């Protein structure tokens, strides 16, 4: 039974639970309050009745019982403000009624039986109020509240009695009025609580809609920001932070998957051509189609050339992989001006059709870098510049130590890079020519490697246009690497 109740309770909505519990608590408090009020009112009414009875009895006990009826009839004796259903009796010492005074509205009603109220019994009550029951044909079980005291001018007693039905009717009427009013308050409070809880829980509907949108793939969905330190405000802020993390993770995953697909596609495309060349020459040689010594030498040269290109491509891929996985650098203080001289010297030997020069600005060119990695970046940038520069033109490497960071520029005066493509040239396997012409000898990984190395140094690399035509690659490196 308990398990079934808990199971049923768990299926009820939070709004219904809160409303029912609140209404139940209010109903219980109203019931307790009404019961307490009725109890206090009953006590007050009884105390008022007792006070009136005692006052009246003490006043009548001093009167002459033989003249009492005449005095009351003539108005010579003014009784206290007794209710209209009072009864006054004068008893002798044996409890026999000598005189009975009844109110004008008391005709035909039963009167108490005073036969047991002897003078000794009356004296034993010591003037304290007490209750007795009397049965009549009109009103069954009528209860009387009375006070009996001895007379001072005769041997007997005076009894003042009032039925308690009036007090009971007042209490019953109050209970009915209080019950109706309580039911009205419970209904009104229940409706108000339902509206309040519905308004308070409305933001949860927004949370539900946002969750459904995220489930449907709309990861940019967000909850409305709530100001202040309310529970809903903190919940919305926490959920928005979580959604930001989810969106970032999903975006990163999608980007990684897209890069991986493109990486695998481009890498397979890059490796397929040299492998086909090597396999083709090998099959020609196996089938005996290459017999002359000159043809064999040319075939071996082509195989070697393609093997060298594949080796360079694989090494570039490994370099990128290592940089992506760890980015570990061997940081030492390095004079970048001397490093630039070595790069330009090597480039001059490799390409004598282009003029190379180094331009220095400032004095302190020392920075904490991985010298081999930075030299690889500069060599790659200078090689690219000389590859696309016209014969007889100039390629300059400018190094500036005047700012917070060391700035290095590699400037050529070739065809340049269109503005929409300047961000894409750093992507892996990207070439400006969609035909993938290999006359320039590039693999499309050099600038991607350069960007990975610079990023690992917490630096920045970007491409822009040379003022008089050509391309300029700007490289900025911090002098001191941060501890993190």
Ramachandran area for residue 400 (φ above 0: left; ψ -120 to 50: alpha; else beta): beta
Torsion, Cα of 46, 48, 49, 50 (10° steps): 80
SS3 per-residue string spanning the chain: CHHHHHHHHHCCCHHHHHHHHHHHHHHHHHHHHHHHHHHHHHHHHHHHHHHHHHHHHHHHCCCCHHHHHHHHHHCCCCCCCCCCCCEEEEEECCCCEEEEEECCCCCCCCCCCCCCCCHHHHHHHCCCCEEEEECCCCCCCEEEEEEEEECCCCCEEEEEEEECHHHHHHHHHHHHHHHHHHHHHHHHHHHHHHHHHHHHHHHHHHHHHHHHHHHCCCCCCCCCCCCCCCHHHHHHHHHHHHHHHHHHHHHHHHHHHHHHHHHHHHHHHHHHHHHHHHHHHHHHHHCCCCCCHHHHHHHHHHHHHHHHHHHHHHHHHHHHHHHHHCCCCCCEEEEHHHHHHHHHHHHHHHCCCCEEEEEEECCCCEEEECHHHHHHHHHHHHHHHHHHCCCCCEEEEEEECCCCEEEEEEECCCCCCCHHHCCHHHCCCCCCCCCCCCCCCCCCCHHHHHHHHHHHCCCEEEEEECCCCCEEEEEEEECCCCCC
In the prediction, which pLDDT does 267 show? 67
Nearest to 395 by CA among 457, 350, 448, 444: 350
In the prediction, which pLDDT does 78 show? 65
CA gap 179, 431 in Å, rounded:
88
Q: Which two tokens stand for residue 167?
A: 């007090």
CA gap 231, 237 in Å, rounded:
10
Which residues are registered as beta bridge partners of 358?
A: 397
CA gap 480, 458 in Å, rounded:
10
In the prediction, which pLDDT does 136 show? 41
Which residues are registered as beta bridge partners of 368?
A: 333
What is the full per-residue pLDDT of the chain (484 aa) written as tens digits?
Answer: 667 666 666 677 777 888 888 888 888 988 888 888 888 988 888 888 888 888 888 888 887 777 776 776 666 666 666 776 778 888 888 778 777 776 655 555 667 777 778 888 888 888 888 887 655 434 445 678 888 888 888 888 888 888 877 788 888 888 888 888 888 888 888 888 888 888 877 777 777 788 888 778 777 777 777 666 777 777 777 777 888 888 788 877 777 777 667 667 666 766 776 787 788 888 887 887 777 888 778 888 888 887 887 787 777 666 666 665 555 678 899 999 999 999 998 888 878 888 999 999 888 889 998 888 898 889 889 988 888 888 888 999 999 988 888 999 999 988 888 888 888 888 766 665 543 344 444 566 778 888 888 888 889 999 999 888 889 999 999 987 765 5
């Amino acid at each position: 039974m308990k398990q079934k109740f808990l199971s049923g309770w768990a299926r009820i909505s939070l709004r219904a639970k809160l409303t029912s519990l609140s209404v139940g608590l209010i109903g219980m408090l109203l019931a307790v309050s009404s019961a307490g009020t009725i109890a206090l009112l009953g006590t007050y009414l009884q105390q008022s009745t007792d006070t009136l009875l005692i006052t009246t009895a003490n006043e009548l006990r001093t009167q002459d019982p033989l003249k009492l009826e005449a005095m009351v009839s003539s108005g010579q004796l003014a009784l206290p403000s007794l209710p209209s259903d009072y009864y006054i009796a004068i008893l002798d010492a044996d409890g026999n009624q000598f005189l009975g005074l009844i109110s004008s509205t008391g005709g035909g009603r039963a009167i108490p039986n005073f036969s047991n109220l002897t003078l000794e019994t009356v004296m034993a009550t010591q003037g304290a109020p007490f209750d007795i029951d009397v049965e009549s044909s009109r009103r069954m079980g009528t209860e009387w509240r009375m006070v009996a005291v001895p007379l001072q001018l005769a041997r007997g007693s005076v009894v003042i009695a009032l039925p308690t039905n009036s007090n009971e009717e007042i209490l019953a009427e109050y209970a009915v009025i209080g019950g109706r009013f309580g039911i009205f308050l419970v209904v009104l409070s229940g409706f108000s609580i339902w509206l309040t809880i519905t308004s308070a829980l409305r933001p949860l509907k927004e949370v539900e809609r946002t969750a459904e949108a995220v489930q449907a793939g709309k990861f940019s969905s967000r909850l409305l920001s709530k100001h202040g330190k309310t529970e809903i405000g903190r919940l919305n802020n926490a959920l928005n932070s979580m959604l930001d993390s989810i969106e970032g993770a999903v975006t990163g995953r999608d980007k990684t998957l897209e890069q991986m697909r493109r990486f695998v596609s481009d890498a397979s495309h890059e490796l397929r051509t040299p492998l086909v060349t090597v396999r083709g020459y090998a099959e020609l040689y196996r089938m005996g189609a290459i017999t002359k010594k000159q043809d064999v030498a040319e075939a071996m040269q082509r195989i070697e050339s393609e093997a060298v290109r594949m080796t360079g491509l694989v090494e570039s891929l490994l370099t990128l992989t290592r940089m992506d996985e760890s980015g570990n650098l061997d940081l030492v203080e390095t004079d970048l001006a001397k490093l630039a001289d070595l790069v330009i010297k090597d480039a001059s030997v490799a390409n004598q059709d282009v003029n190379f020069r180094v331009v220095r600005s400032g004095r302190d060119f020392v920075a904490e870098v991985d010298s081999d990695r930075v030299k690889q970046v500069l060599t790659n940038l200078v090689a690219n510049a000389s590859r696309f520069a016209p014969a007889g033109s100039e390629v300059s490497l400018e190094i500036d130590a005047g700012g917070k960071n060391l700035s290095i520029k590699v400037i050529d005066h070739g065809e340049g890079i269109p503005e929409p493509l300047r961000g894409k040239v750093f992507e892996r396997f990207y070439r400006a020519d969609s035909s993938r012409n290999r006359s320039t000898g590039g693999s499309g990984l050099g600038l991607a490697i350069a960007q990975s190395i610079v990023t690992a140094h917490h630096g920045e690399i970007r491409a822009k246009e040379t003022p008089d035509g050509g391309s300029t690659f700007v490289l900025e490196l911090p002098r001191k690497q941060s501890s993190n």
